Amino acid sequence: MPKKKTSPKSPPKERALALRVNGRVLEVEVPPHRTLLEALRDAGFVDVKRGCEKGDCGACAVLIDGVAVDACLTLAWTVEGRDIVTAAGLGTHENMHPLQKTFVEKGAIQCGYCTPGLIVAAQSLISTTPDPSEEDIRVGLSGNLCRCTGYAKVFEAVREAAAQMRNQRGRR
């Protein structure tokens, strides 16, 4: 007796994309439903953290043309040609971004899982609001959940980094 065949729906077609991530071009082949979070993590950008995949927690925030966006709510196909920057793209051990430095110095990092997203969100905030008030910082980080720190040292770190970045710009 021929067995009734249970074939899955034919998988959606993959498409080759060129994503610009942290200043280099990344060739990926992904189906239309692949999120930017999945595409980036599969390509090794594991500093983009998976926390909820619903846009609730902000752990996967990346900069797209300088604006913080939840990568889990962004389809990879929609950001081709845009400038994507992850937390690891902002600095290195030898050459840390001011936010990375102040997060370390102010004790704003505990488990660190939310840290890349927070740094990305803070960078997005400072780029449009170079001298953020406490309220600005709270609103700017309101899409990023942190369970360890209670946010107080995060606020300090962002305030301090913004000041350093203003000074740097002033000197230039």
Partner 1 sequence: MSTSFDPTAARANVAFRQVGKPLARTDAPGKAIGRTPYAGDYVMPGMLHAKVLRSPMPSARLVKLDVRKARALPGVVAVLTARELPDRLAPTDIPGQTGQARLKTDQQILVRERVRYHGEPLALIAAESADIAEHAMKLIEYKLEPLPAVFDPEEAMRPGAPVVQGTDNVVARHAINKGDVAAGFAAADVVVERTYRTQFIEHAFLEPEVGLAWIDENDVVNIRVSTQVIEHFRFIADAIGVPHNKVRIMGALVGGGFGGKEDITVEVYLALLAKHTHRPVRLEFTREDSFMGHGKRHPFVLRYKTGVKRDGKITALEVGLISDAGAYVFLSPYVLLYGTIAAPGPYLIENLKVDAASVSTNNMYTSAFRGFGAAQACVAYEQQMDEIAQAIGMDRLEFRRRNYLKTGEPTATGFPPPSAIWTERCADLAWQALGEKTKAKGAVRIGRGLAAYQQSYGRLTFLHDTSEGWVGVEVDGTVVVRSGVTDIGAGQVSALAQIAVEILGVTLDNVVVYNSDSAVTPLAGTTTATRALYMTGNAVRVAAEAVRNRLAARAAKAFGVAAEDVVLADNKVTAASRSDKSMGFAELIRLCASEGIQRSELAIFRAPFTDRLDPVTGQGQAYPDFTYGAHAIEVAVDTETGEVSVLKSVACHDVGQCINPAAVEGQIEGGAAQGQGYALSEEMIYREGRLTTPSFSEYLIPTAMDVPVVKSIILESRSGLGPFGAKGIGEPALTPVAPAIANAVADAIGKRIFDLPITPEKIVRALNGI
HSE toward the beta carbon, residue 113, CA cutoff 13 A:
10
* Residue closer to partner 1 (CB basis): 77 or 113: 113
* Residue closer to partner 1 (CB basis): 12 or 130: 12
Run of H or E residues at 75: none
82's tokens: 């845009």
Q: What is the DSSP string of 91-104?
A: --SSS--HHHHHHH
CB of 73 to partner 1, least distance (A): 13
CB of 10 to partner 1, least distance (A): 12
Pairwise CA distance, residues 22 & 6, whole Å: 43
CB of 96 to partner 1, least distance (A): 6
Which residues of the shown chain bind partner 1 in the complex (CB under 8 A)?
Answer: 6, 8, 11, 46-47, 49-54, 56-57, 59, 86-88, 90-93, 96, 100-101, 103-107, 109-116, 119, 137-139, 141-142, 144-155
How far is C-alpha 54 from the geometric centre of its chain's CA atoms?
14
* Residue closer to partner 1 (CB basis): 59 or 126: 59
